[in-house]
Structure 1
Amino acid sequence: MRVQIFAGAMSLALLSSPVSAVVNHDLRDSYIVVLKESVSESRANDIAREVAKGHGVIGHQYSHALKGFSLKVPEQALKGLKNRFPEIDYIESDIVMYALPRGGKPNRGGGGDSVERAVQQVPWGVTRVKGGTVDMSNSSSVAWVIDSGIDSNHPDLNVNKSRGANFTRGKKTNTNDGNGHGTHVAGTIGAYDDGFDVIGVAPGVEMIPVRVLDNSGSGSMSGVIAGVDHVARYGDSGDCANMSLGGAGYSAALDSAIKTAATQGIFFSIAAGNSGQDASGFTPASTNGTNIFTISAFGESNDNFAYFSNYGSDVDYAQPGVDVLSTKTGGGTVSYNGTSMAAPHFCGVLLATGGSFSLDGDVNNDPDGSPDPIAVSN
């Protein structure tokens, strides 16, 4: 039996606080069980039930992006699991996934009704990628924001929470953003061109919250895979899933899930990470394939590569990721830095162009010596 064990988890999409301050997920004895593709859905359900009877606790079940389930069980109980169920392809250890703002925790804000709306600003990043020019309110394509949820009451955002889902612990129907990260990401993708707050790259596009990160900005790999599975089940060709999150190491399960969803014509825009290292050491930044894009960050001055951004051959394009103004949970706006802010620019470009975007120069001072091209809307 192949059990894939990750190295220590760490922040990918945005630099975290010290690990002890943010890890609140007890993932000891927690695993992701991936079944062979040939296994039927009914047999997969039978296996999950039988494992549960054997004193394992089943968490998420996957049926579209991959086949399998998450499992909490003592490590010693794994030993005979594959012998008992030859349909098991492999088992991975679950790990903590992160998305925290560089330099601090997102401002959760107050009540949306109490925040006076400011005159609309066009963020520099939206201008740089030549976004904000096409009203996407009636587009059939949508943005799936796999993140900490979205503030559905923010007046500058077109949020459809009825199609959303919550794969964190707690009330599963609640897709509201208790952290602030997902709301900021959403505003960059598609804040309305309505004269208030900010404008997004694909203004007015419908955004669906897929909550996989809790109020602390952390979650589990198993929950993130459940989010991708949800997108694979309900998404359509031309949609974009934004993943401004991640962890250290490699996950065959998450890699496979993203690739399967992408074969349906769903775009994936993935943050490269903020460790200033090669993106190949992080997941899902290292995932490659058709319709899958890993995004590095640059600043407003001379398109200079952001010092914190991950780099390397797994990175596809660079987008604005320094001093990015966008929507804030509770109303109003706030600026953040990070590749978490770069990825939603590209998601907006994909939605606004249907994937037929243009290139406008390269970043300067890319550490890997091969400058990332800058993608822009037509």
Structure 2
Amino acid sequence: MFLPGRPLSIGFPEGNDALRLRDLGISSALAVGVAVLGLPAVAQSAPTEMVDVIVTLDAKTVDPAAAASAQTDRLSSASSVRSVYRHALKGYAARVPASAVAALRAAPGVAAVDYDGTFTIVGASSPWGSWPAFDNPTGQAQDTPTGVRRINAHTNPNLDIDGVDDKRIDVDVAITDTGVDFDHPDLNVVSRADCTSGTCVDNAGDDDNGHGSHVAGTVGAIDNGFGVVGVAPGARLHSIKVLDSSNSGQWSWLVAAYDYIAARSTTIEVVNSSIGGGGEPAALLTAVRNMTSRGVVLVVAAGNNNENALNSAPAKYDEPITVSALADSDGKPGGTGGAPSCRADQDDTNADFSNWGTQVDIAAPGVCINSTFRDGGYNPSYSGTSMASPHVAGAAALVASVNKPTNQSGVNALRDYLTAAGNLNWTDNSGDGVKERLLDVGDPTKFPPAAGGNKPPTASFTSNCTALNCSFDGTASTDPDGSVSSWAWTFGDGTTGAGSTTSHTYAATGSYTVTLTVTDNQGATNSTSKTVTVTGGGTNQAPAASFTHRCYSNFNPPLCFFDGTASTDPDGSISSWAWTFGDGTTGTGRQSTHNYARTGTYTVTLTVTDNGGAKNSTSKTITVP
């Protein structure tokens, strides 16, 4: 995500938020003729001030174009309709006299009126990237960018990243940005549309900036032996231009783009939007919700202001997957890579510009990313949550290529799938108290997901500490279609161990992150991490169990996802999570999924045990749809 300008009410002083109109509460669906008759008359004197507005019509409106024409014609002969929305919402964008906005607000069939505004990428002096010479890619050996390596895409045999263009991911991804270099030899661009007039025009729009082409390469640059390779190599890319050559766009253009994509939701599985800002119109949320409700996965950048992601749209919404940026310099975990190549930051930590907070779903590399650029070139030094987001969009494309969502529940399930597969092998120094998982697509049993084949094991362990001595038990680890063959431990102080059970003596009190990695009899692996606190003695206080859940009706049998990460321990750490699902079955682990045999109401209980052996339980009644 680039740094957006604050949207402005065109024709009014900057920051005049009181003039924004939304949620007018008129819900009746009237025929166009009736709507015209019901529109209050407006003085016919020539207007001296025009404003751009976005009008949301009642959802039952049959013909938004006819309604738009009738309503604006009634306002003034100087009014003009700039775009009509039919799929992601019923509505239109128009230029109307400022004095007529109240009349438009009162028109039957109008649900909301918002002033349009602008958002923009910062210019060439941006600290988030540089503008190198455009190199001819011919003869350049293929680079596997640090971001692709950091999420372990290059180690996944299913992705076949080997410099030979013999496998392309069968998926369609839309890029809403400055456009994509549609004839770049390293990109599989199959369609393009230019929405910068307010109406999306097919077979138009090139990338006259570079940002959109950079994003596209991270998603799906071809594995062909030159240039770079993306997370979903060779994915079919759809360029949707919503920003002009000066890096400026209007909210109405983005709404038009989402409307355009919603009309093609049977083809397009994933959308990347590395854009955002504040002061957005209510119509944007409506468009996002209706697009994702059709099963289109929207991945968005959290923002580059080192502030709460709730301050930026569409990152603030619940429907998309919101992505923060990791600073990584060497494509490896461990934090030993030194400063990144293009800007000062710390390896394997939050990028110092990245937005943060509870609205962030997952982290991905976003500093000094090498990718494709405009005019057939490459840029090795772009940074931003704009660069992190397409890593996740590529991963979402890997999953959607096999299991395409059909509604919002499916989109949510895909988000949960990505986060559950992520790892915690990085340092969260944002200070927000919430450590999101880092994208990880290295497991060949999960990316892409496949019907049949070896299923990975599930790592699980308990711990018990007395003074500086801790014992660890990984025998609860399981494998659904085989057996666990090895257990590998890292104790968080630079030492390691092996075996299903082990013990370790720490040199000093404190909190340590312990990781257990288990490998099954067919080579699949799984890891889990917990924080243990070595206190050196004292009276142990009981933990507090807490959990959330989501259930999805689009799975057969119905699937529920349970998350007990909110459980806490006041004087140590939680060492085990035990679940009873209310249907006679049980589970373990901080996060757990369960398929119910039938719909109905069930009482689910979570029991947590801390590192001193104290327990606490909590129960909830859930409804499986």
Q: TM-score, normalised by structure 2?
A: 0.53
- In structure 2, the gaps of 5 or more residues are 12-50, 161-165, 330-334, 336-347, 401-413, 444-625
* Residues 63 and 167 (structure 1), Cα distance of their counterparts in 2 relative to 1, 3 Å cut: same
The DSSP-based 3-state class of the residue aligned with 1:201 is coil
Q: Distance in 1 between matches of 2:82 and 2:132?
A: 29
Equivalent residue letter for 1:123: P
Q: Which residue does the alignment assign to 1:323?
A: 368
Q: Distance in 1 between matches of 2:231 and 2:259?
A: 26
Displacement after TM superposition at 1:15 (Å)? 3.1
Corresponding residue to 2:70 among 50, 59, 72: 50
Corresponding residue to 2:351 among 306, 309, 312: 306
Query: Is contact 1:141–1:236 with CA below 8 Å preserved after alignment?
Result: no
Q: Deviations over 1:170-211 (max 9, x none)?
A: 994422100000000000000011111111000000000000
Q: Which residue does the alignment assign to 2:547?
A: none
Q: Which residue does the alignment assign to 1:370?
A: 434
Displacement after TM superposition at 1:51 (Å)? 2.8
Q: Which residue does the alignment assign to 1:349?
A: 395
Q: Deviations over 1:201-230 (max 9, x none)?
A: 000000000000011221100000101111
Q: Distance in 2 between matches of 1:77 and 1:367?
A: 48
Query: Is contact 1:192–1:203 with CA below 8 Å preserved after alignment?
Result: yes
Corresponding residue to 2:127 among 92, 100, 103: 103
Q: Which residue does the alignment assign to 2:248?
A: 218
Corresponding residue to 1:198 among 209, 228, 243: 228
Displacement after TM superposition at 1:131 (Å)? 2.2
The DSSP-based 3-state class of the residue aligned with 1:216 is coil
Report how many aligned residue pairs link the two structures. Answer: 352
Equivalent residue letter for 1:159: V
Equivalent residue letter for 2:150: R
Query: Is contact 1:108–1:330 with CA below 8 Å preserved after alignment?
Result: no
Q: Distance in 2 between matches of 1:100 and 1:327?
A: 19
Q: Deviations over 1:16-49 (max 9, x none)?
A: 6xx6xx99x9943111100111211x2x222111
Q: Which residue does the alignment assign to 1:65?
A: 88
Q: Which residue does the alignment assign to 2:423?
A: 360
Q: Distance in 1 between matches of 2:299 and 2:390?
A: 7
What's the % identity of the aligned pairs?
33
Corresponding residue to 1:141 among 171, 176, 182: 171
- In structure 1, the gaps of 5 or more residues are 1-12
Runs of 4+ in 1 over 6 A off after TM superposition: none
Q: Is 1:15 matched up with 2:3?
A: yes
Q: Which residue does the alignment assign to 2:141?
A: 119
Higher RCO (C-alpha under 8 Å, 6+ residues apart): 1
Q: Which residue does the alignment assign to 2:190?
A: 160
* Residues 106 and 259 (structure 1), Cα distance of their counterparts in 2 relative to 1, 3 Å cut: farther
Query: What is the root-mean-square deviation in Å for CA atoms of aligned residues?
Result: 2.5
The DSSP-based 3-state class of the residue aligned with 1:37 is coil
Corresponding residue to 2:289 among 243, 247, 259: 259
Q: Distance in 2 between matches of 1:308 and 1:330?
A: 28
* Residues 51 and 117 (structure 1), Cα distance of their counterparts in 2 relative to 1, 3 Å cut: farther
* Residues 236 and 276 (structure 1), Cα distance of their counterparts in 2 relative to 1, 3 Å cut: same
User: When you count helix as a share of all residues, which structure comes out higher?
Assistant: 1
Q: Distance in 1 between matches of 2:237 and 2:167?
A: 10
Displacement after TM superposition at 1:105 (Å)? 7.0
Q: TM-score, normalised by structure 1?
A: 0.86
